[in-house]
Amino acid sequence: MQKILVCIKRVVDYNVRVRVKPDGRGVMLDGVKMSVNPFDEIALEEALRIKERSGAEVVAVSIGVADTQQQLRTALAMGADRAILVQTDLGVEPLIAAQTFLALARKENPDLILLGKQAIDDDANQTGQMLAALWDRPQATYASKVALNEGKATVTREVDAGLETIEIDLPAVITVDLRLNEPRYVKLPDIMKAKKKPLDVTSLDALGVAAGALLKTVKTEPPAQRQKGIMVKDAAELVGFLKKKGLI
């Protein structure tokens, strides 16, 4: 194992209560804390554990606005060797993201590409699969365990029926699930060291990727407000309340 590419995305921190803009055109981002997508953080942690065993180079890559460098610096502080930002102010859909990561893969020639199974902002769960198809390499999704041995990866996947174990040839794309690992905490000395690690900035044009929107968001609405709950003394009172509501 020589090189691992880890794809990360800048998203609203999962502890933040997301608010919809008054005009319904997306969510409010001004002054909102942004973080590395939690699933991608797990992918990075797995790459770092592989690095500690094999000495592989870990390259963190992301697509987004200039401030995305903050999340890449976090990846460098965790232990990534270098980072690449494909800077753009445009919204990046899964297919454009996959095409961009493909261009980086052709440039970097990694043995493995890791990314989260989905991002918590759009929950698309498409980029990894599209990337594998475009790259014409094997894929394993929803990974809860990854073992590498002699040019192959044995991956335990979380599926509806339980767990499924498959073996794929490398290079490959693996998308990770929550139970794969627990990401490490970033320490202050590592944050200071990360400032000296290389972070290259490029563009979609430089990679030969044509930017453009294939999807149109018509309107964004907050979820309906839930009705306030009530407390009941016992099962009989609960049944009486449900009958009154016509639920039973």
Structural domains of the chain, with CATH: 3-244 (3.40.50.620)
205: number of Cβ within 10 Å: 10
The residue ranges of DSSP E strands in 8-99, in sequence order, are 10-12, 34-36, 57-64, 82-87
* 3-state SS class at 94: helix
Strand partners, 224: none
The residue ranges of DSSP E strands in the chain, in sequence order, are 3-7, 10-12, 34-36, 57-64, 82-87, 112-116, 139-149, 152-159, 162-169, 172-176, 199-202
Smallest CA-to-CA distance from 175 within 101, 67, 104, 66 is with 101
Is the bond preceding 198 in cis, omega lying within 30 degrees of 0? no
Q: Can you list the residues of the chain whose pLDDT is less than 70? A: none
CA distance 57 to 170: 16
Give the per-residue pLDDT at 157.
95
CA distance 4 to 46: 10
Order of strands, sheet of 112-116, starting from the edge strand that comes earlier in the sequence: 162-169, 152-159, 139-149, 172-176, 112-116, 3-7, 57-64, 82-87, 199-202
Give the per-residue pLDDT at 104.
97
pTM: 0.86
Give the per-residue pLDDT at 227.
80
Give the per-residue pLDDT at 175.
97
CA distance 177 to 179: 6
CA distance 189 to 184: 14
Please give the structure tokens belonging to residue 246: 């016509």
Give the per-residue pLDDT at 215.
81
Q: How many CA atoms lie within 13 A of 115 on its CB side?
A: 28
CA distance 112 to 49: 13
